Structure 1
Amino acid sequence: MAAAAMTAANRRVVSLILHHLSDMKYKDRRQRGPDQPVEFLEFRPTLVPSILVNKLWAEEGTSILWKRYPHLPALQAMAPDRRQWYANKVERLFVLGPPPESEADWAYLEGMQWPKLKILELEVDWKRHEQRVRTMLHAGLEHLEFLAPQSGSSQYIAGSVLPALFAPCANLRTIHFGPDALDHQDPVHSQELIELLESSQSIVDVRVINTGFIGKDTLFRRLSQRPGLEALEIDLEPGLQLLPSLSGTITLPSPFASLRRLHLMCYPEIALALPVHLRLVEHVQIDMARIPNQLRHESDMRVLDDILSELAQCPELRSLRVNVGQLALDFPSAVSRPSLSGMALVKLASGCHNLQEFHLLASEPAAIDGSMVSSRHFDAFCRNLPHLKSLSLKLHPQTAFDLESTALRSLGRYCARLETLRLKVSLQLPSLQLHRVAPPEPPTADHVLFQDLVGADGALQSLSIAINGCQPEASYGVENYASSTSSTTSTEPCFQHLVHLAFARPQSILSIASDTYTISSNSQSSSIVDPLVEEDLVKLWAESLSSHFPRLEVLEAWSDWTGQDNESLSYFLPLEESLASMWEFLSGVEQDLWEDARDFDEPYIEIMSRDGYREERFSFDSHTTGDDWEMASLINEFPVEEDADGSAYLEPYHDEPEGMITPGGMLGNDKEGFFQHADPKHTKASTAEPEADDLHAINDGKLSSSRTT
C-alpha cells in the first residue's frame, strides 16, 4: 500500500499513467435509426475522474487535455487569469471561426498569449478575426494550416494576410493552404508566396494543392532547388511546359535533392520524367490527368506499367499511391480501362523492398484491367514485400479471375504485417480453409527471384529444375508456385493484424437470389434458396472469416463480381455477429443494427401472441455456438404479426407488400473518384477538461475527451 501511495504521488509516474490512458482508443458502431447508416466511431477515455483525484493529478491531467486541440469556447466562462493559465498549456490548436451571419463574441481571446503552441490550424476569416488570432502566431510555432475562405480580395491577401502569417513565425517548418482558402475566381500569383518562402528558410514542408494560386509551374521550379525541402503537395498547370526542365537539354541541376514526400497532380509525361530525380523519396502520391479535349493516346493504356517501372528506381519508397484520372474524352471509362501487367508489379516490388503502402486506383466509373496479372506474378510480388501493411488495387473483377482463389494465400504467406487489404477481386474466403497458409520460408536457392522470372527481352521465363541430374521440361515457375501454396497443417490465422478487408462481392446463390429484385436494407426474400444450402454457405464463409481474420473491424463489399455495382457497403465489427454479417455481405444488404425492443445483455426478438407479449432471446455469438442460423438468415426480415401463432421466430415475406419502397444503390458525392481529396476542414473534437476549480464554469457537456472518426 505504501508503494502504491508513493507511486500515486510521483509526478513523473502520474504523467506517464495519464498519457497512457489518454492514448488509449476504443471503437463502437452505432445506428441512430432503421433508416440511418451504421456509423463506426472511435473514442478516447475521459480523464475527468483522474483530474478529480487531487491537485497533482489535476495539474497533470489538465496539461494533457489542454495541449491537444482544446475547446476554446470553454475559456469564455473562466476568469481572465484562469484563461491564461490554461492557454499556457496548449500545444495544438484548431480555431474554427463563427459563420459570417453569427454575432459570436471572440473578445475573450484578444490579447491572450500561447507560449507553447506548436501546431495551429486556422479556419477563420482573417479580415474579421485578425485581432483575436494574431497572438497565436509567434516564433515558437512550427506548423501552420490556413483553411477557411477569405472575404478579402487577392490584393488584400497578398499584401496583408500572407505577410502577417509568415513574419512572426521565424521557426516555421510547415505551411499548408487549404483548397478553399483562396478564391479560384480571384487567384493570387505564386510569386507572392515565393518571395515569402525565400525569406523563411526554416520551412521544409509546403502544401498548395488545389489552392487559388496561379503560376504553380514557376513555384515548382523554385521549390525543386530549395535546400532542405522534405515535403511538397502541388498541382501543376495543364500542359508539358515543365518537361524540358526534368528530362530535356535544360534539365534543372539536382532537383528535389532532399525530398521525402511528394503529392503531385500533373500530366502523365511529367510524372514519368520525375522519379529519376527522387532517389530519397519515401512517400509518393501521383494523380495523372489531362484536359480531356482529345482522344486517348495509345501509350495511355499502359501508363500504370510505365510509372511503376520508373518508380522501381526509388529504393527508399515506403508509400505509393497512383491515381489515373481523365486522360482523354473516352479514357478511362467503364469499357476503356488502363492495363496493369504482372511484370510491372514484380519489378516494382523487386526495386522497393521497403514498401509498406501501395494503392492503384482509376477514376469512376473505370477500373484497372488486371488480365495480365497471373497468380505467379502476384505471388512473386507478395514475396518481395515482407513489410507491406496496406494494399489497395482497383482491378476490374471480370479481368482478375486468376487471383480469386490464390491472392489471399500469397498475401497470407508473405505479407504477415498486412493491416488493410482492399482488392477489387471476387476473392474466395473458403479457399483459406482448404489450403492453410504456412509461414514464409527463409530464402533458398530454389525461390523464384525477379531475375529468374525475367529474360533478356523482359518476358516471363520458364526456369527448369534438374532432378537427379536430369533436366525436365516442366516449368519451374508452375511447380514452385504449386509448392508455395500447398496445404499445410498450420492452424495459425493467415492475417493476424488485418483490420480492414474489402473485396468484390462474389457470385453465390445468395447474390443471385438478391439480384432478382432491387435490394432493400429492410427486406430480403430468401424463399427461393434452399435453407440448408444457404446455411452451409454462410457458415463456411463465416468460419473462414473468424479463423483467419481475428482482428477484423471492417468488412467492405467493394462492388460485386460483375464490376458493374459501384456501391461500397461496409460492415463494422463483423466478427461480433459473423453469420449475420456474412449473410448481409453475400446478399448485398446494408448492415442493420436497429432493434425496436428494450436493451438486454443479449439480443432478442419480441413477438405479439394471443395472450400478450412474449420475449425470446438468441445468441449472436455465431462463430462459436452455431445455433443462431435462423436469426442470422432472417436478420432483415419483418415479422408476420397476424400469423405469429406463438412462434418466436421471424418469418419472411414471400411477396413484397404493396407500396413498400425498395430503392437501389445510388452514387453519392462521397464516392471514390479522381482528384477527390479529403476535406481539410476536420473539426477536431475537444480533448480538454477543466480543472476541478473550473468545473462549475462549464457544466453543459461541451468539453469531451473523446474524438470521433
Structure 2
Amino acid sequence: MPPPPAGGWPVLVPEILLHIFNHLHGQGPALLAAIRVNRHWFSCGTDVLWRRPEWEALVALPPDRRQFYAHKIEHLSFNGDEQSSYHERFKDLAFTNLKSISLDSYRPGPDGYRLEQYLSPSLESFALFGANITESVLLQLQTTCWRLRAILIDNPGPNITPSSFSDCIRACEHLQDVQFMYGMDRLLTDELLIHLAQRPKLTRLRVGKPWSDELMQRISEQVSTPFPALRSLEVSVASQAVPTLIGLIDSVTELTVSVLDSEADVIEALSSMTELVSLTVSFATSRQLSRKDILAVKRLSKLKVLATEALDVQVPAIHEGFNDADFDDVVSSLPALRQLQLTIQCDLSVAAIMSLSKHCPLVERLELVPVLDVQTLQAHAGNSVILPELRELSLGGFGPPGEDNERATPEHLVSLLRAWFPRLAQLDTLNGDEYSEELCDAFETTISQRVCS
C-alpha cells in the first residue's frame, strides 16, 4: 500500500466514502487496499464488501467475529442440504440489516430448522424453496417483518395450517410480490385468493394452484376492482375460463397462463389484452391450434416477449397450416419483440428468420421447432448479419437437405452462425440428431475459447 500523503489521509464523511467504495466494489484489490487505510475506512468498506457475501465467508470467520459481520449483511442465499446445515451455527446471530433471504429445499426432520435469526424488522424479501417450517416462523414473519414486500414459499411441509398461513399473509400489509407455485394447494384457499385480489399494492402474483370458475366468479362478484395494481400474473385455468380471467386483470402487462385443457382456443381471447408486453401460454394437454388463433397475436403490438410452451406433452401443431407468409404477417406487427419462443409444429423455412431480421431486428432469444436449412439461409444472407442482438438460439435442428457427405462441417457452420448472429452465446437443438449435437458442441467449444482468451 502507498504511504499516506503529507497531510495524512483525508477524513471523508460516510456518505462520500460509501459512494467511493460502491464504485470500487467490482475492483477487488483496489477496494481491499482502501479499507486498510484506517478504522473509519475499514468500517465503511466492509459495509460494502459484506452486503451480499457467500455463506462460506461467514462460516470461515472465528465464531466470536461472526456477529460483527452479520450486522452488515443485507442479502443471504442458501442452496441445498449441505449449505442449509449451517443454520444451526448461525442461530444465535442477529442479522439486523438483512433485507433478503433465500433458502433452498432442506428437510432435516419433522421439526424443521431454525429460521428465526433471519426474520428481522429490516427484512423485505423472503424466499423459501421447501422446508418443514413451523407456525412459529409464520408468526414471526407477520409480527416482526413489517417491511416485507416480497414473499415466495414452496413446499412448506405439513406443520402449518391454512388458517395460520392466511393470517400471516393478511398481516403482511405491504406485500407487492407474492409467489406460491409448488406444494401450496392445501394452503391456498379461495378466501385467501379473494383477499389477494383486493390488495392495493400487489404488483406481481404467481400461483400454482389452478383457479376454478367458481373462484373467479366470486372474485368478480365480491371485489369491485380486482387486482388494481397487478402488472405480472402467472396462473393456471381451464381454456373456457380465459375470458373470465381477462375481465379480472385489466392492469396486467405480463401474463403467463397454463391452459389445463383443449376445449377452446385461448390466444384469440388473450389478444384483447392490447397492453401486454409479455405473453407466455403453456399447454398442459396435447392439442391442435387453429391458424386463426395464432394470427390473433398480431393485435398485441407492444409485445416484447411471446412464448408458447408444451408442459410434458406433445408439441402442439397448427392443424390448418401456418406458413412463412403467416409468420411474416404476425411478426411485422410486433416491432418491439425481444424474445420469441414458438414451440409449435408448423411449416416454416428460412424465410421466417429473414422476416425476423426485417421486422424484429432486436430479438435476443429465439426458439423455433423447424430445422434450419443452412444452405438456403446462406443463399439469402451470405455472410451478412441477420440478427445483431441474438444471444440465445434453439431450433429443431441444423443442416441442409441431402446426404451427410453434402453437409457443411460443424466448424464451418459455427463460423456462419457467428457471422449471422455476432452476439450469440447459447445454441441448442430440440431434436437431438447427431449432426446438430456436433454443431452445438463445436459452438460451445468456440465460446469457451473466446471466454478464456
TM-score, normalized by length of structure 1?
0.54
Give 2:266's match in structure 1, choosing from 307, 313, 325.
307
User: Matches of 1:549 and 1:394 in 2, distance apart?
Assistant: 21
Gaps of 5+ in 2: none
Secondary structure at the counterpart of residue 355 of structure 1? coil
Deviation digits for residues 62-89 of structure 1, max 9, x if unmatched?
Answer: 4444212432563453252x32332222
Q: Is the Cα–Cα contact under 8 Å of residues 239 and 259 in structure 2 kept in the other structure?
A: yes
Matched, 1:135 2:117: yes
Q: Distance in 2 between matches of 1:64 and 1:282?
A: 35
Give me the whole-angstrom Cα distance separating, in 2, the residues matched to 1:204 and 1:573. Answer: 45
2:378 pairs with 433, 444, 461, which one? 433
Tell me how far 1:232 sits from its aligned partner. 1.2
RCO higher in structure (CA 8 A, sep ≥6): 1
Partner of 1:649: none
| Whole-Å separation in 2 of the counterparts to 1:101 and 1:495 | 44
Task: Check conservation: 2:184, 2:208, Cα contact below 8 A.
Answer: no
How far 1:508 sits from its partner (Å)?
4.3
**Where do 1:566-645 residues align within 5 Å?**
571=440, 574=443, 577=446
Shift, 1:119, TM fit: 0.7
Query: Residue by residue, what CA displacement relative to the aligned partner does 1:241-286 show, whole Å, maximum 9, x if unpaired?
Result: 3353367xx4742222221111112322333421232222122111
Tell whether the 8 Å contact from 1:276 to 1:310 is kept in structure 2 after alignment: no
2:239 to 236, 257, 268: 268
Alpha-carbon contact 2:271-2:297 (below 8 Å) kept: yes
Using the TM superposition, give the Cα deviation of residue 503 of structure 1 relative to its aligned residue in structure 2, in angstroms. Answer: 0.6
Question: Is 2:269 the counterpart of 1:359?
Answer: no
Counterpart for residue 256 of structure 1: 227
RMSD: 3.9
Is 2:22–2:48's contact at 8 Å kept on the other side of the alignment? no
1:421 positional shift: 0.6
Give the alignment partner of residue 32 of structure 2, picking from 27, 44, 51.
51
Distance, in Å, in 2 between the alignment partners of 1:555 and 1:542 is: 10
Structure with more of its chain in helix, by fraction: 2
The alpha-carbon distance between structure 1 residues 547 and 430, as it changes in their structure 2 partners (threshold 3 A), is farther
* Counterpart-to-counterpart distance in 1, 2:63 and 2:313: 57
Which residue of 2 is the match for residue 369 of structure 1? 317
Paired residues for 1:309-328 under 5 Å: 309-326=268-285
Which of the pair has more CA radius of gyration? 1
Give the drift of 1:504.
Answer: 0.9
Contact kept in structure 2, 1:18 and 1:61, CA below 8 Å: no
- The within-5 A match list for 1:170-249 is 170-178=146-154, 180-183=155-158, 188-189=161-162, 191-214=163-186, 215-236=188-209, 240-245=213-218
Mapped partners of 2:386, 2:101: distance in 1: 42
Q: How does 1:41-190 map to 2 (within 5 A)?
A: 47=28, 50-52=31-33, 55=36, 62-72=46-56, 74-75=58-59, 77-78=61-62, 80=64, 82-95=65-78, 106-107=88-89, 109-123=90-104, 127=111, 129-130=113-114, 133-150=115-132, 157-158=134-135, 160-178=136-154, 180-183=155-158, 188-189=161-162
Judge conservation of contact 1:50–1:58 (CA < 8 Å) in 2: no
CA distance change for structure 1 residues 546 and 256 in 2, over 3 Å: closer, same or farther?
same
Shift of 1:188: 3.1
Distance 1:232 1:377 in 2: 34
Amino acid at match of 2:443: P
CA distance in 2, matches of 1:344, 1:353: 16
8 Å CA contact 1:506, 1:560 repeated in 2: no
TM-score by length of 2: 0.81
Question: 1:141-190 deviations in whole A, cap 9, x for unaligned?
Answer: 1111123321x7xxxx34x3321222101111112112x3224xx7732x
Shift of 1:360: 0.1
Gaps of 5+ in 1: 23-46, 291-298, 327-331, 437-488, 514-528, 579-592, 594-600, 603-620, 622-709
**For residues 106 and 85 of structure 1, what CA distance do their matches in structure 2 show?**
18
SS at 1:253's partner residue?
coil
Aligned residues of 2:274 and 2:302 also touching (Cα < 8 A):
yes
Indicate conservation of the 8 Å contact 1:122/1:147, yes or no: yes
Q: Who is 1:440 aligned against?
A: none
Q: Matched residue of 1:361: which SS?
A: strand
Alignment coverage as a number of residue pairs:
432
- Secondary structure, counterpart of 2:234 in structure 1: strand
Superposed, 1:275-674 pairs within 5 Å as: 275-289=246-260, 300=263, 303=264, 306-326=265-285, 332=286, 337-341=287-291, 343-350=292-299, 352-370=300-318, 372-396=321-345, 400-401=346-347, 403-436=348-381, 493-506=385-398, 508=400, 513=404, 529=405, 533-535=406-408, 541-559=413-431, 571=440, 574=443, 577=446
Q: For residues 83-135 of structure 1, what are the alpha-carbon distances to aligned partners after superposition, in whole Å with 9 as ceiling and x for unaligned? A: 23322221111246866997x6834x3443223211112346694543xx423
Q: Does 1:18 align with 2:1?
A: no
The one-letter code of the counterpart of 2:24 is: L
CA contact (8 A) 1:145 1:176 kept: yes
Percent of aligned positions with the same letter in both sequences?
21
User: Which amino acid is the alignment partner of residue 50 of structure 2?
Assistant: W
Give distance in 2, aligned partners of 1:101 and 1:54.
31
C-alpha contact 2:116 2:137 (8 A) present in aligned 1:
no
**1:182–1:420: structure 2 CA closer, same or farther, 3 Å change rule?**
same
- Preserved CA contact (<8 Å) 1:144 1:176: yes
Aligned residue identity for 1:209: M
Contact kept? 1:553, 1:573, Cα under 8 Å:
no
